[in-house]
Structure formats: C-alpha cells, structure tokens
Structure 1
Amino acid sequence: MASSYFSTSLALGAIGEVRSLATVSLARSLDEPVNPIVDLPYLSALLLSEDRPPRGVVRRVWQMNQAMQFAEFAPVTSLQHRILASGLRPGPLEQVVLRLHKSPSPTTPKWIDATLRSALSAPDFLRGTQMTAYRGLRRRVFFAPGGPALDPLSVTSFLLLILWCGRPTGIPPQAWARLEKVTAGLADQPGWEGPLDRLVLTEACKVLDREEWDSRDMVGAGAEEGEKGIEHV
C-alpha cells in the first residue's frame, strides 16, 4: 500500500477503526468473547501516511507560528482561530500586539499521534471500555461492592493491548511497525500508568501468556504474532 498524505477524512475513518480494534483487544486481553475484526483500510492508510498535513495547512500553520509565536500548535483565542481559518497574515495592529509573545516555537504537530489520542480518549468511547474492563476484571480480581472508582485506561494502555494481541491481517507490516514506534514513544513518557492500567495490563499478561509487564519495555513480543492476530480469534 502506497503512502499518502494525512487528511481529515483519513483521520475520521481511522478513528472509528482504531476504537473498534482497541475495544476488541481489551476484551480479548481479559478473556471476554470478541467478534472478528474486518479490514482496517483507514487505520492502515493513516499509519502509512506521511506524518504531515496537506500543503495548505502547512502554509497556514507557518503563517500563524510566525505571527503568534506560541509554544504549541494549540490555537485557543478567537484571533488565532481567525488567522488559521483565513490563511492570511494579521494586519499591522495585530502584528504589534502579537509581537509581545517572546517564546517562538515552530514545532510541527504529530498528526498520527494526535489522531490516535483523539480516538482513544473520547468520553463516550472510554465509558464503554470501562464497562468492558470491569466485566472482565470482576471475574479475576476482588472488587468492593459497586466496582472500583478508577480513572479510564490511558491511550498507551489501549495501544499496548492492540500490539500484544497481534497484528490483524488487515494491517500491513510497515503500518504495524509505525504503530509500534508510536506506542513505544508514548510508553517512554512518565505518568500514564494509573490503577486501572496496572490491573488490566497485569491480567492481560496472564490471559495472553506473556511475561509480567514492565513499564520500561512493554511493546514486546506480542506485536510479532502477525497472521495469528485478532482477526483469527
């Protein structure tokens, strides 16, 4: 499959597919029944795409960074949104005001990372997966009446479970390698492991016959299962 440029339509299609894959991976990791995964064309194309936006967006981001000088690609004011939408440089008065910003940072946004984070951190998606996690865990872990008051799983945990369950045949090896790289980068960042993450990952290791997980090396061998992945459960 040839690489392509990142686009909004590609991201929207990939969001639905990665949520389905994460939900099935979570269920399988907790020994819950799952349905087979069908083709994942949008997710595959996203992972094979060049990690940059179309030229028109690049131009507008550059123009806004030149004018705004803000630390991250995160327009929050109406002025920033207006300039991004118009693709035009601000007028003389706006330029005088905006030059008060002292911290230029022309950081290019990570579009694939951002799409995966958006897909796996939406409230409706997290509510559904929390129920799946609770159903799977209550058969294996002692909970007080009413269940645990736990934060939802992190994006990193969802991606780890996807990798541990093995590559579906619908995702090419090159795309899978890209997913491994993204996940390794997220796993290297501190502070993502909450109580539910530890519970689910520990039980997943037992179900998937893995060694106990280690936050220092967690992408691991399950990512190499290839054709024996989720599609053939």
Structure 2
Amino acid sequence: MDWNAVTLAVFDVDGTLYNQRRLRLKMAYELLLHALRSRSLRTPRLLAAYRRLREQLADDEVQDFEQVLLMQTAGRCRLPPATVAALATEWLEQRPLRHIAACRYDGLPELFQRLRARGKRIAILSDYPAQAKLQATGLAADIIVCAGDVGVLKPHPRGLQLAMALAGAAPASTVMIGDRPERDGAAARRSGAHALIKSRRPLPGWQTFATYRDPLFTVQL
C-alpha cells in the first residue's frame, strides 16, 4: 500500500470492524434461549433461510434485492412478509448491538485517528444497515453507504462507486478494507480501487493483514 496516494478508506462492517464469529456465538446463545422459552424453532429456521437467500441474491446480483429477499423468505417459511421483516430486524440489526462493543477489533480507534490525522476520509460500505452498528463500535465515518441505498449487494460495485462519488475520490486513491475477497475484494477490483483483506492466513492474489496493529497500519501509514 502507498498510503500517500490514498484519499479515501472504505471499511466493511460485519467481520471487518468486529469479530463476527464471536458475535454470532453470543447471538446463537440468545437464540437458543429464545427457542427453549418459546418451545419453537420458527425464528432460527427463518433466520437461516433469510441468510442463505441473501447470499444467493448477492451471488446473482439481484436488483432491488430487499423486496425479493423478504418475499422469498416469507414464501419458504410460510410466514407473512411483515413477520419476516420484524424478526430479521430484531435478530440481525437490533439485538446484536449490545454485544458489538465487546467484539470490536483492537486498534481500530487508533487507526481511524491516524487516517484522519493524515487527511484521509473514512467511509463505511455495508450490506446491512450500518449506522447503529457503527455507533455501537464507538467509531465514526464521514460517509455511510449500505446495500439498501443502492439496491444491490456486494460484489456489485455500485455501493463502492457511490461512496467514492460522495467523497469525490478516484478509484486509484481509494482502498476497500474488508474480510471477504469474494465480496469486498471483488467490489474493489470491479471499481478499480485497491483492496485490503483481513485474514489470519495469506490469500493468493490478495493483500492481507491479520490485525489493525500490523505494520501496514502502524508503520507504513
């Protein structure tokens, strides 16, 4: 990375700003308790179907995916769309907020401060609503773009292109920081931007980092 050439740093949220595996374990425990108390597997089955369909819609780059996702999940689970929307919002957006601070990756506040001190703008690009999650991490961004704003999920580059347009940044001066090469990395490459992928192991063809205390951020930036 040549940080001197970067004017915009774009961060994914889930799995990039916080440890998604740790969060999902906490949520799995909550979901288990809920299932035991309600004596029903309706909610875990709905959430599993919702996630699988969302991944498929991302792979297929379906336009206006939110309505399609809602209707297809409702059809598979034989529930009203309003019920699907309410449960997805509760379990995927609202309930996780209480755990996010404890799952945030070390070094991020210092990195955000360092980026701003160097005159870089910070953007968030998420496939889920991100404002509340970002607030829960204690971090702040100049620009927030979510898949719902552009009607299509990553790896489609439209969301990243919108973030760059809002920042007035060229692709060559933009870096997309995420945890999924097939989503975040692909969106960056299709936009002409740089990509940094958070991974504990090297990924052929990608520039990776293990933590936000790597020399890539602490020395080179």
Q: TM-score, normalised by structure 1?
A: 0.30
Structure 1 or 2: more strand by fraction = 2
